[in-house]
Structures are given as structure tokens and as C-alpha cells.
Amino acid sequence: MPLIKEEDKQFLQSEFKKYMRDAVDLVVFTSENEDCRYCKEVVQICDELSETSDKINVKKFIFEKEPDESKKYGVTKYPSVVVTKHDETNGRIKYYGIPSGYEFGSVIEDIKMVSTNEAKISAKAMDIISKIDKPVSIKVFVTTSCPYCPRAVGTAHKFALANSNISGEMIEAGEFSSDASEFGVSSVPHIVINGDVQFVGARSDEEFAQFVLEAYNHSGEA
């Protein structure tokens, strides 16, 4: 049974034809372990997306059997999806957990953004994140029923596209409850930067960038 409705596929075909420029890879890591609740669904979503454009390619890896690929893309959990330019191996834009519900829209926006290599970021925020010259990790804890979460995920992923020192991860809090507990996640979106600076809620580009800079400055003090 399809996970993407036929009328939605037709809309996506039109969207991708209009907005995509370069080919994009959806790099999927799953597991053969029974604890991977949504592995099959994640693969199915990506396969169905690839049917809407010849510029969307799906690469599939088994997490525990292909550790070199996991390391190459910086993937530490499953199921996961990395959105990247075709045949590039950076793992800066990641989804840990099923990108369904409101987060399905985040994937669509990321595909278009990565394809055009254009991140729509305010000039002030861009000025701030351009100062980041060493690795910064942004984790955005979400639930797929949260209407405010895609904005936070989108900002993290825009920053990751704009600056190669930044990585942005969507983490579905229900699927990765131990990770959520580690950072005291009780409401979403809950953002954790470098495991140090935390805030809750969707913020403007400028506010978000200030938190990123704060975490960057803290890392310089260590």
C-alpha cells in the first residue's frame, strides 16, 4: 500500500520539475534488527519520492553490515535518511526516525534546497553563521505531529547547507527516547547544539544563529 497518495505524487512531480536543478541522493540506513520499528516505511517513503523525479536517487545501506558507509556519512543510528547532492558523501543534513507527518514537508523542502544549493537565510543570520569555522552539531528533537517542528528542522538544515562546518539532525523523540531523555526533552521542538546550548521552540533565523554562535564560543573555551 502506497504511503504517498497519488494526488500528492502528482503535486510533487510538478514541484520537483519546477524547482529542482541538480540530482539529489536520499541515503537510507536501516537495520535487519527487529528493534527498527519504521525501517521498512522509511525505505518506502524514499522509494516513492524517487518515483516523482528522475533527479532523486535512493541509496540503501544496512547500518550494522556497512560500517564504512555509516562512518562516511556520519550516521550513528537507524533508521536514518541523509539528503545530499548526488554522489556527495557529506552527512550534514540528516533525519533520524521516520520523516512522516509534518516532517514529510521538511524532506520535500530539503530536496529542493539541496538540489539548487540555495539556503534562504536572512542576511544577519548568514553573517553570524559565516563565523563558524569548526564543527558544530545541531540536534532538533521533534514529533511528527508537531506543527512548529519543521521550522526548526528547516533552519538547522539551511545552516548546514550554508556552512560545511555545521550539521543538522532531525531526531524523532518517540523513536529515540533514550536520546530525548539524555537531554531532558519534554516539549518539542527541542534544540541541542554541541550537546551544550539548548532551547525550545521555533525561533527566527537570527535568534537561532545566536544560539549556534554561543555554542561555538563555548567550544572555544574548552
Single-letter amino acid, residue 199: F
pLDDT at 222 over 90: no
Give the homologous superfamily in CATH for domain 123-221.
Glutaredoxin (3.40.30.10)
The residue assigned the cell 547547507 is 161
Instruction: Give the pLDDT confidence of 2-17 residue by residue, as tens digits.
Output: 999 999 999 999 999 9
Instruction: Give the pLDDT confidence of 114-129 residue by residue, as tens digits.
Output: 999 999 999 999 999 9
pLDDT band at residue 221 using 50, 70 and 90 as cut-offs = low
Q: Which CATH number fits domain 6-116: 3.40.30.10, 3.30.70.260, 3.30.910.20, 3.30.70.3270?
A: 3.40.30.10
**Overall average pLDDT of the 185-205 stretch:** 97
**Predicted pLDDT at 219:** 79
Is it true that 6-116 and 123-221 share their CATH fold?
yes
Q: Beta strand 166-172 with 93-96: parallel, antiparallel or unpaired?
A: parallel
pTM for this prediction: 0.96
**Overall average pLDDT of the 164-169 stretch:** 98
**Overall average pLDDT of the 90-104 stretch:** 96
Q: Beta strand 190-193 with 166-172: parallel, antiparallel or unpaired?
A: unpaired
**Element holding 57 (H helix, E strand):** strand 56-62
Query: Left (φ > 0), alpha (ψ -120 to 50) or beta: where does 87 sit?
Result: left
Q: Where are the domains of the chain?
A: 6-116, 123-221
